[in-house]
Amino acid sequence: MNNKPVVLVTRRLPPAVEDRLRHDYDPRLNDEDRLYTAEELIQRAAGAHAIVPCHTEHLSAEVIAQLPDSVRAIANFSVGVDHVDLAAAKARGIIVTNTPDVLADATAEVAMLLILGAARRASEGERLLRSGQWDSWSPSFMVGTQVTGKRLGIIGMGRVGQVTARRARGFDMTIHYHNRRRLDPNLEAGAMYYEIVEALLPQCDFLAMHCPATPDTRHLLNAQRIGLLPDGAIVVNTARGSIIEEAALIAALQSGKLAAAGLDVYENEPDINPVFSELQNTFLLPHIGSATRETRDAMGFRALDNLDAIIAGREPRDRVA
């Protein structure tokens, strides 16, 4: 008889992570990698001790209220937890964990890719080549913004923000940042701290968004704050779409207030605002910040380390509720 704890896994995970799940648990895997409806998720959770979801599953208060009593843990395969109503989980005594630290390198790589891609008009150039329309070269052809030596503003100087700062220093960028708390001087490494966002923005040739999505950070970058950026600034976002007011970003890209934007995340994924694709001055990726083999394995193992601790009655390393 199989007495292993039953674990509902909502999406297909890396093979090594699923192997470990099969070894230690009785997992309900999603071989088709199909997105479950809320009803399916609740049904599939019947008798499960824990759920391992991704950010694609919306564990609202309503869904959490309908989970069976057997569910004791939500061990997220994600660092972001804005898809989970933490208060509702806490109220039901369901422990919630995430996967911090392990995404920092991969996500900072994408932040740099967005900075470079948006500044140097990479998407536009690629489209031109792929459509067979490149027919000439001139000194004024596809002139973009130089990255080297510019000022990079970072909102959210957690792990990803700090790695992005280190990578950007490789391009001789100077780092300016806003964070809830000022970093220790050794982590700051010469970066300039601004206690209020409004003071940071006029200093940014580039602005990289790295803060978590919470009710407090919703539309943190709005029309008024975009107005404080220097003309021709470039905004990149690898965090969550909800932290930027998209209508204001689009208006600034259309008016030329912003030279360009590089986006990996959107308010409504995967049905993004079609205007983003119509604009020439956007460099767009489909939420792939953590999508490397190394990082996806590390996320899975970190989620399972948390799950192992909860099942063993120990305090998990990454508890968020």
Catalytic positions: 240, 269, 287
Residue whose CB is less far from ligand DGY, 61 or 285: 285
Q: Which of 30, 78, 162, 282 binds ligand DGY (CB under 6 A)?
A: 78
CB of 3 vs ligand DGY, minimal distance in Å: 32
The DSSP annotation for 160-214 comes to HHHHHHHHHHTTT-EEEEE-SSPPPHHHHTTPEE-SSHHHHGGG-SEEEE-PPP-
Site size with ligand DGY, rule: CB under 6 A: 8
| 186 dihedral zone (left: phi>0; alpha: psi -120 to 50; beta) | alpha
Residue whose CB is less far from ligand DGY, 33 or 278: 33
CB of 312 vs ligand DGY, minimal distance in Å: 24
Residues near 268 by beta carbon (within 8 Å), at least 6 away in sequence: 241
Contact between 55 and ligand DGY (CB under 6 A)? yes
Contact between 281 and ligand DGY (CB under 6 A)? no
Please state, in angstroms and as integers, the Cα–Cα distance from residue 240 to each residue in 29, 139, 170, 264, 269, following that order: 27, 37, 25, 8, 10
The DSSP annotation for 266-318 comes to -SSSSS--HHHHH-TTEEE--S-TT-SHHHHHHHHHHHHHHHHHHHTTSPPTT
Contact between 158 and ligand DGY (CB under 6 A)? no
d(CA 82, CA 2): 34
Contact between 17 and ligand DGY (CB under 6 A)? no
Contact between 54 and ligand DGY (CB under 6 A)? yes
Contact between 252 and ligand DGY (CB under 6 A)? no
Give, as one character, the DSSP assignment of residue 90.
H
Contact between 79 and ligand DGY (CB under 6 A)? yes
Contact between 242 and ligand DGY (CB under 6 A)? no
109's tokens: 């790589």
* Residue closest to ligand DGY when measured from CB atoms: 80
CB of 92 vs ligand DGY, minimal distance in Å: 23
Residue 9 and residue 34 in contact, taking contact as beta carbons nearer than 8 Å: no
Contact between 52 and ligand DGY (CB under 6 A)? no
Sheet-wide strand order for 192-193? 192-193, 174-178, 151-155, 206-209, 233-237, 258-263, 282-284
Mark the segment that binds ligand DGY (CB under 6 A) among 35-43, 73-81, 182-190, 221-229. 73-81
Instruction: Tell me, letter by letter, the H, E, C secondary structure of 109-164.
Output: HHHHHHHHHHHCCHHHHHHHHHCCCCCCCCCCCCCCCCCCCCEEEEECCCHHHHHH
Contact between 217 and ligand DGY (CB under 6 A)? no
Residue whose CB is less far from ligand DGY, 259 or 307: 307
Contact between 27 and ligand DGY (CB under 6 A)? no
Residue whose CB is less far from ligand DGY, 10 or 78: 78
Contact between 73 and ligand DGY (CB under 6 A)? no
Residue whose CB is less far from ligand DGY, 282 or 295: 295
Residue whose CB is less far from ligand DGY, 78 or 203: 78
CB of 77 vs ligand DGY, minimal distance in Å: 7
CB of 227 vs ligand DGY, minimal distance in Å: 28
Element spanning 27, H or E: strand 26-28
The binding site for ligand DGY (CB under 6 A) comprises: 54-55, 78-80, 103, 289-290
